[in-house]
Chain A
Amino acid sequence: DAGVIQSPRHEVTEMGQEVTLRCKPISGHNSLFWYRQTMMRGLELLIYFNNNVPIDDSGMPEDRFSAKMPNASFSTLKIQPSEPRDSAVYFCASSPPSFHQGSNQPQHFGDGTRLSIL
Protein backbone atom coordinates (compact mmCIF):
# COMPACT_ATOMS: atom_id res chain seq x y z
CA ASP A 1 0.00 0.00 0.00
CA ALA A 2 1.44 3.37 -1.02
CA GLY A 3 0.00 5.24 1.92
CA VAL A 4 -1.27 8.81 1.77
CA ILE A 5 0.62 10.74 -0.89
CA GLN A 6 1.09 14.49 -0.69
CA SER A 7 2.65 16.87 -3.16
CA PRO A 8 4.71 18.90 -3.29
CA ARG A 9 6.91 17.98 -0.30
CA HIS A 10 8.27 21.51 -0.14
CA GLU A 11 6.93 24.79 -1.49
CA VAL A 12 8.55 28.20 -1.27
CA THR A 13 6.72 31.15 -2.75
CA GLU A 14 6.26 34.88 -2.34
CA MET A 15 3.37 36.35 -0.44
CA GLY A 16 0.35 37.08 -2.56
CA GLN A 17 0.84 34.03 -4.76
CA GLU A 18 -1.66 31.19 -4.99
CA VAL A 19 -0.58 27.92 -3.41
CA THR A 20 -2.16 24.53 -4.15
CA LEU A 21 -1.41 21.47 -2.05
CA ARG A 22 -2.43 18.02 -3.24
CA CYS A 23 -3.36 14.78 -1.53
CA LYS A 24 -4.12 11.24 -2.66
CA PRO A 25 -5.69 9.22 0.17
CA ILE A 26 -5.32 5.49 0.71
CA SER A 27 -7.60 3.56 -1.64
CA GLY A 28 -10.81 2.51 0.14
CA HIS A 29 -10.59 5.22 2.79
CA ASN A 30 -13.61 7.49 2.70
CA SER A 31 -12.61 10.10 5.29
CA LEU A 32 -9.99 12.73 4.50
CA PHE A 33 -8.53 15.37 6.79
CA TRP A 34 -6.34 18.44 6.21
CA TYR A 35 -4.16 19.60 9.13
CA ARG A 36 -1.70 22.40 9.70
CA GLN A 37 1.24 22.01 12.09
CA THR A 38 3.33 24.79 13.61
CA MET A 39 5.71 24.86 16.56
CA MET A 40 3.48 27.29 18.45
CA ARG A 41 0.10 25.64 17.92
CA GLY A 42 0.90 22.00 17.16
CA LEU A 43 -1.48 20.10 14.88
CA GLU A 44 -4.74 21.85 13.98
CA LEU A 45 -7.57 20.37 11.93
CA LEU A 46 -8.49 22.60 9.00
CA ILE A 47 -11.23 20.61 7.26
CA TYR A 48 -12.65 17.10 7.19
CA PHE A 49 -14.38 15.29 4.29
CA ASN A 50 -16.52 12.18 4.46
CA ASN A 51 -17.41 10.51 1.14
CA ASN A 52 -16.03 13.56 -0.68
CA VAL A 53 -18.39 15.93 1.16
CA PRO A 54 -16.98 18.59 3.52
CA ILE A 55 -18.33 17.82 7.00
CA ASP A 56 -16.48 20.30 9.21
CA ASP A 57 -14.55 23.30 7.91
CA SER A 58 -14.62 25.28 11.14
CA GLY A 59 -10.83 25.09 11.34
CA MET A 60 -10.24 26.86 8.05
CA PRO A 61 -8.58 30.11 9.16
CA GLU A 62 -10.23 32.48 6.72
CA ASP A 63 -11.65 32.84 3.24
CA ARG A 64 -8.20 32.73 1.71
CA PHE A 65 -8.24 28.98 2.39
CA SER A 66 -10.37 26.58 0.35
CA ALA A 67 -10.41 22.80 -0.03
CA LYS A 68 -12.00 20.49 -2.56
CA MET A 69 -12.42 16.77 -2.98
CA PRO A 70 -13.68 16.17 -6.53
CA ASN A 71 -13.43 12.39 -6.19
CA ALA A 72 -12.49 9.68 -3.71
CA SER A 73 -8.84 9.64 -4.75
CA PHE A 74 -7.88 13.31 -4.80
CA SER A 75 -8.12 16.44 -2.69
CA THR A 76 -6.62 19.92 -2.86
CA LEU A 77 -6.04 22.66 -0.33
CA LYS A 78 -5.65 26.10 -1.86
CA ILE A 79 -4.44 29.34 -0.31
CA GLN A 80 -5.06 32.53 -2.28
CA PRO A 81 -3.52 34.99 -1.66
CA SER A 82 -0.82 33.47 0.55
CA GLU A 83 0.70 35.35 3.51
CA PRO A 84 3.89 34.75 5.54
CA ARG A 85 1.83 33.60 8.57
CA ASP A 86 0.57 30.68 6.45
CA SER A 87 4.06 29.15 6.63
CA ALA A 88 3.68 25.72 8.25
CA VAL A 89 3.67 22.02 7.49
CA TYR A 90 0.36 20.92 6.01
CA PHE A 91 -0.67 17.29 6.49
CA CYS A 92 -3.33 15.23 4.79
CA ALA A 93 -4.68 12.13 6.53
CA SER A 94 -7.24 9.50 5.58
CA SER A 95 -9.13 6.85 7.49
CA PRO A 96 -11.36 3.88 6.73
CA PRO A 97 -15.15 4.29 6.66
CA SER A 98 -16.51 5.75 9.89
CA PHE A 99 -19.53 7.71 10.97
CA HIS A 100 -17.66 10.48 12.69
CA GLN A 101 -14.25 11.64 13.78
CA GLY A 102 -14.67 10.03 17.19
CA SER A 103 -14.68 6.52 15.74
CA ASN A 104 -11.89 4.12 16.60
CA GLN A 105 -10.47 4.09 13.11
CA PRO A 106 -6.86 5.25 12.99
CA GLN A 107 -5.90 8.13 10.74
CA HIS A 108 -3.07 7.55 8.30
CA PHE A 109 -1.00 10.64 7.64
CA GLY A 110 1.03 11.64 4.61
CA ASP A 111 4.49 13.09 5.09
CA GLY A 112 3.26 16.65 4.68
CA THR A 113 4.02 19.70 2.57
CA ARG A 114 6.42 22.18 4.15
CA LEU A 115 5.20 25.59 3.01
CA SER A 116 7.27 28.75 3.28
CA ILE A 117 5.77 32.09 2.28
CA LEU A 118 8.37 34.82 1.89
Chain B
Amino acid sequence: KNQVEQSPQSLIILEGKNCTLQCNYTVSPFSNLRWYKQDTGRGPVSLTIMTFSENTKSNGRYTATLDADTKQSSLHITASQLSDSASYICVVANSGNTPLVFGKGTRLSVIA
Protein backbone atom coordinates (compact mmCIF):
# COMPACT_ATOMS: atom_id res chain seq x y z
CA LYS B 1 0.00 0.00 0.00
CA ASN B 2 1.34 3.46 -0.93
CA GLN B 3 1.92 5.41 2.26
CA VAL B 4 3.84 8.44 3.51
CA GLU B 5 4.62 8.68 7.21
CA GLN B 6 5.96 11.85 8.81
CA SER B 7 7.56 12.41 12.18
CA PRO B 8 7.35 14.00 14.58
CA GLN B 9 3.67 14.92 14.48
CA SER B 10 4.47 18.24 16.13
CA LEU B 11 7.58 20.08 17.25
CA ILE B 12 8.34 23.18 19.29
CA ILE B 13 11.76 24.86 19.01
CA LEU B 14 13.37 28.11 20.07
CA GLU B 15 13.99 30.81 17.50
CA GLY B 16 17.47 30.48 16.01
CA LYS B 17 17.71 26.74 16.55
CA ASN B 18 17.92 24.11 13.81
CA CYS B 19 15.50 21.23 13.35
CA THR B 20 14.98 18.20 11.13
CA LEU B 21 11.68 16.72 10.01
CA GLN B 22 11.43 13.13 8.80
CA CYS B 23 9.46 11.44 6.01
CA ASN B 24 9.33 7.71 5.24
CA TYR B 25 7.45 6.38 2.25
CA THR B 26 6.44 3.13 0.61
CA VAL B 27 5.26 4.60 -2.72
CA SER B 28 6.34 2.59 -5.75
CA PRO B 29 7.38 3.09 -8.50
CA PHE B 30 8.90 6.34 -7.29
CA SER B 31 8.93 9.50 -9.41
CA ASN B 32 9.63 12.41 -7.11
CA LEU B 33 9.30 13.64 -3.54
CA ARG B 34 8.07 17.10 -2.57
CA TRP B 35 8.08 19.14 0.59
CA TYR B 36 5.39 21.76 1.08
CA LYS B 37 5.02 24.47 3.73
CA GLN B 38 1.48 25.32 4.81
CA ASP B 39 0.85 28.41 6.91
CA THR B 40 -2.31 28.52 8.99
CA GLY B 41 -5.30 29.44 6.84
CA ARG B 42 -3.32 29.26 3.59
CA GLY B 43 -2.71 26.70 0.89
CA PRO B 44 0.50 24.62 0.76
CA VAL B 45 3.49 26.19 -0.96
CA SER B 46 6.15 24.09 -2.66
CA LEU B 47 9.61 24.17 -1.05
CA THR B 48 11.49 21.48 -2.98
CA ILE B 49 10.93 18.72 -5.53
CA MET B 50 13.49 15.90 -5.75
CA THR B 51 13.76 13.13 -8.29
CA PHE B 52 15.31 9.70 -7.84
CA SER B 53 18.78 10.90 -8.81
CA GLU B 54 18.89 13.87 -6.42
CA ASN B 55 19.91 13.31 -2.82
CA THR B 56 19.90 16.91 -1.60
CA LYS B 57 18.25 20.15 -2.58
CA SER B 58 18.22 23.52 -0.85
CA ASN B 59 15.83 26.45 -0.83
CA GLY B 60 17.28 29.18 1.36
CA ARG B 61 17.39 27.93 4.94
CA TYR B 62 15.54 24.75 3.96
CA THR B 63 17.53 21.69 2.87
CA ALA B 64 15.83 18.47 1.84
CA THR B 65 17.59 15.13 1.56
CA LEU B 66 16.45 11.96 -0.15
CA ASP B 67 17.66 8.38 0.28
CA ALA B 68 15.83 6.40 -2.38
CA ASP B 69 17.33 3.13 -1.16
CA THR B 70 15.87 3.39 2.33
CA LYS B 71 12.88 5.43 1.10
CA GLN B 72 13.50 8.22 3.54
CA SER B 73 13.62 11.98 3.26
CA SER B 74 14.34 14.75 5.69
CA LEU B 75 13.79 18.49 5.75
CA HIS B 76 16.37 20.46 7.70
CA ILE B 77 15.62 24.02 8.76
CA THR B 78 18.60 26.15 9.72
CA ALA B 79 18.52 29.12 12.09
CA SER B 80 14.76 28.95 12.51
CA GLN B 81 12.62 32.08 12.45
CA LEU B 82 9.18 32.77 13.88
CA SER B 83 7.84 32.76 10.32
CA ASP B 84 8.86 29.12 9.95
CA SER B 85 5.92 28.20 12.20
CA ALA B 86 3.72 26.13 9.88
CA SER B 87 2.84 22.60 8.86
CA TYR B 88 5.35 20.84 6.64
CA ILE B 89 3.91 18.22 4.33
CA CYS B 90 5.84 15.47 2.53
CA VAL B 91 4.31 14.31 -0.76
CA VAL B 92 5.44 11.43 -2.96
CA ALA B 93 4.55 10.92 -6.61
CA ASN B 94 4.85 7.73 -8.57
CA SER B 95 5.48 7.36 -12.25
CA GLY B 96 1.95 6.79 -13.38
CA ASN B 97 -1.40 8.46 -13.25
CA THR B 98 -2.25 7.48 -9.71
CA PRO B 99 -2.73 10.22 -7.14
CA LEU B 100 0.05 11.90 -5.23
CA VAL B 101 0.43 10.39 -1.75
CA PHE B 102 0.42 12.94 1.05
CA GLY B 103 1.80 12.67 4.54
CA LYS B 104 -0.26 14.17 7.37
CA GLY B 105 2.39 16.76 8.06
CA THR B 106 4.54 17.95 10.95
CA ARG B 107 3.29 20.97 12.84
CA LEU B 108 6.30 23.19 13.70
CA SER B 109 6.07 25.99 16.22
CA VAL B 110 9.02 28.37 16.57
CA ILE B 111 8.92 30.40 19.78
CA ALA B 112 10.90 33.44 20.90
Interface residues, chain A, with chain B CB atoms under 8 Å away: 4, 41-45, 48, 55-56, 58-59, 91, 93, 100-104, 106-112
Set of chain B residues within 8 Å of A108, measured between Cβ atoms: 46
Bound: A95/B99 CA distance, A: 14
Residue of B nearest to A3 (CB): B43
| Distance of A32 from chain B, by nearest CB (Å) | 14
**Contacts A56-B99, A100-B97, A102-B32; is A91 near B49 (CB within 8 Å)?**
no
Set of chain A residues within 8 Å of B44, measured between Cβ atoms: 43, 91, 109
CB pair B93 A4 closer than 8 Å: no
**Contacts A101-B93, A102-B32, A104-B32; is A43 near B102 (CB within 8 Å)?**
yes
CB pair A110 B31 closer than 8 Å: no
CB pair A45 B45 closer than 8 Å: no
CB pair A91 B32 closer than 8 Å: no
Residue of B nearest to A106 (CB): B46
| SS of B interface (majority) | loop
Q: Give the number of residues in B that approach A within 8 Å (Cβ atoms).
A: 24
| SS of A interface (majority) | loop
Nearest 9 Cβ contacts at the A-B interface: A109-B43, A102-B31, A42-B104, A106-B46, A102-B93, A45-B99, A43-B102, A100-B97, A102-B95
CB pair A4 B97 closer than 8 Å: no
CB pair A42 B102 closer than 8 Å: yes
Interface hits, B48-69 → A, CB 8 Å: 49, 51
Bound: A4/B42 CA distance, A: 12
Bound: A43/B103 CA distance, A: 8
CB pair B97 A55 closer than 8 Å: yes
CB pair A102 B96 closer than 8 Å: yes
Bound: A110/B43 CA distance, A: 5
Bound: A42/B103 CA distance, A: 7
**Contacts A43-B89, A112-B43; is A100 near B102 (CB within 8 Å)?**
no
